[in-house]
Amino acid sequence: MEMPDIQKYDRILIGCPVWCGLAPNVILTLLDILNLNGKHAAVFTTSGATKPMKLAVKLKKTYPEIKWHKPLNANDMSEDEIRNWM
């Protein structure tokens, strides 16, 4: 599968559902393939109940060279709330 060239981007937003308290494996595979070291990144999630920080803490431990920012749970967010977060 062809990967996008993300080297020209400084800020990456990653959106995914929470599965079993974690990001789905496909997101980890993507992060393994794309080298985001040194880039600013943040994750936004949809979930049943799990807070996005739980997932974000694990991503930060696994990928410490990425500059992680505050995560967002996008469930029921208004456009304004999402824009403020961005």
Ligand X SMILES: Cc1cc2nc3c(=O)[nH]c(=O)nc-3n(C[C@H](O)[C@H](O)[C@H](O)COP(=O)(O)O)c2cc1C
Q: Which of 12, 13, 19, 69 binds ligand X (CB under 6 A)?
A: 19
User: For ligand X, which is the closer residue by CB, 40 or 74?
Assistant: 74
Map residues 36-55 to x or -, x wherever contact with ligand X holds by CB under 6 A: ----------xxxxx-----
25 binds ligand X (CB under 6 A): no
Inter-CA distances, 29 with 24, 51, 63, Å: 9, 22, 12
Angstrom distance (rounded) from CA 67 to CA 11: 9
Is there a contact between 58 and 22 (Cβ–Cβ < 8 Å)? yes
Paired residues of 46 in beta bridges: 17
17 binds ligand X (CB under 6 A): yes
Is there a contact between 15 and 74 (Cβ–Cβ < 8 Å)? yes
What's the closest the beta carbon of residue 50 comes to ligand X, in angstroms?
A: 4
**Which residues make up the interface to ligand X (CB under 6 A)?**
17-21, 46-50
